[in-house]
Amino acid sequence: MNRFPSISSVWLLLAGMAGASAGQQAVPANSNSAQSMAQTQQPPEPRLKPNPMEELRRFEPAADEEYRIGRGDEITVDFTGRPELQAKLVVGPDGRITLPLAGEVMVASQTRAEAARTIELALATYYANLSAMVTVTKYTANRVRVLGAVDHPGPMEFDGNPTLLEAITRGGLPTAGPEKRPQIPDRCAIYRGSDQVMWVQLRALVDSGNPLADLRLRRDDVVYVPDPSERFVSVLGEVNHPGAVPLLSNSTLPKVLADAGGITDKAGGKPRIEIIDPSTGTRRTVMFNDLLNPTQSLEVTLKPGEIIYIPQSGFYRATWYLERLNPFAELATLAAVNGAL
């Protein structure tokens, strides 16, 4: 089972590092010229901080986002003027349905209208001028998982658009105090796929009456509610089980990677490990082979809240993933702790 940064972009850091390197190479050998240049250099202009609330809005799916059929959904297919062709079907694990005559037809990830058109085309050889209509009668695929400090962790199915508070409430709010009263957690994380994570300062949003406290979720999102005393890091990218990994007193980087299921083959023969601290915007790079080389004596200290990211091999894919990860945007809600709310 899958388990599962807020200032500027990773690329601004990289560009700054590259610019600094280029500037050092351009300094003449004459020391007087170098001193003169140093005296005339101006401090870099400040950059605007992204609004954490705006980042939350970008993360939230649109209210009118059309539902897409998923594996396990039960659908009914009706044909105008042809009631005898009505079919009640279940979308298989492979995303297909089976139609008489036409056989297997892929409908997963399609809207109702798209699926109807797909079915019409599949049956066009056997029936002329068919007009199909698809209705979802049971939303089995519309599920999210709630993990961590809740009473009933696991997958949950929703007939409509799942929301954050609804998911956490159904999972069972964590309790506190001698009377064990349910409490809104201070924060939670939403993991989306293997390369996105959004931290939400939930209690602050609820206390301020911000509607984003109940932001809409997407199918297959994972909501993680940490225990207040728990220390952990997020492991994303090319690992078998991306998500939150507890950070114990004896935790090492290899052990954390092992707890995340190990590195996948897509990371290549010389995997690169990016360690991003969302609180400072700093980034460290460690080569996995150096980590395992006993002659290197390489020790990597991890801090709670850091993101460990394993990109795919190849410069293009690594660049694409880092840009999409954009930890300072995806986790900009951490700024709320510093009074951004």
Give the model's pLDDT for residue 341: 36
Give the model's pLDDT for residue 318: 45
Q: Is the pLDDT of residue 111 over 70?
A: yes
Could you read off the pLDDT of 290-304 as tens digits, one per residue?
Answer: 888 877 767 788 888
For the chain, where are the alpha helices, taking DSSP H only? 10-26, 31-40, 52-59, 112-123, 164-171, 202-207, 253-259, 288-292, 315-325, 327-330
Q: How confident is the model at residue 226 (pLDDT cuts 50, 70, 90)?
A: confident
Give the model's pLDDT for residue 142: 86
Give the model's pLDDT for residue 316: 40
* Residues 6 or more apart whose Cβ sits within 8 Å of residue 163: 214, 215, 216, 217
Of residues 29 and 100, the one with the higher pLDDT is 100
Query: Could you tell me if 37 and 27 are in contact, meaning their C-beta atoms sit under 8 angstroms apart?
Result: yes
Give the model's pLDDT for residue 182: 80
Give the model's pLDDT for residue 135: 95
Give the model's pLDDT for residue 317: 53
Ranking 26-30, 190-194, 230-234 by mean pLDDT, the lowest is: 26-30
Q: Is the pLDDT of residue 336 over 70?
A: no
Give the model's pLDDT for residue 177: 59
Of residues 90 and 32, the one with the higher pLDDT is 90
CA-closest candidate to residue 144, choices 135, 136, 153:
153
Q: Is the pLDDT of residue 165 over 80?
A: yes
Angle between helices 10-26 and 315-325 (to 10 degrees): 120
Q: Is the pLDDT of residue 178 over 70?
A: no
DSSP annotation string for 160-189: S--BHHHHHHHH---EETTTTEE---S-EE
Ranking 20-24, 114-118, 237-241, 257-261 by mean pLDDT, the lowest is: 20-24
Residue 24, token pair as written in the block: 């050092």
Q: Is the pLDDT of residue 332 over 90?
A: no
Could you read off the pLDDT of 121-150 as tens digits, one per residue?
Answer: 999 999 999 999 999 999 888 899 999 989
Ranking 34-38, 178-182, 237-241, 274-278 by mean pLDDT, the lowest is: 34-38
Highest mean pLDDT range out of 19-33, 47-61, 244-258?
244-258
Give the model's pLDDT for residue 36: 43
CB burial of residue 24 (10 Å; 0-12, 13-18, 19+): exposed
Give the model's pLDDT for residue 50: 57
Domains of the chain in start order, with CATH, are 74-138 (3.30.1950.10), 143-338 (3.10.560.10)
Give the model's pLDDT for residue 65: 86
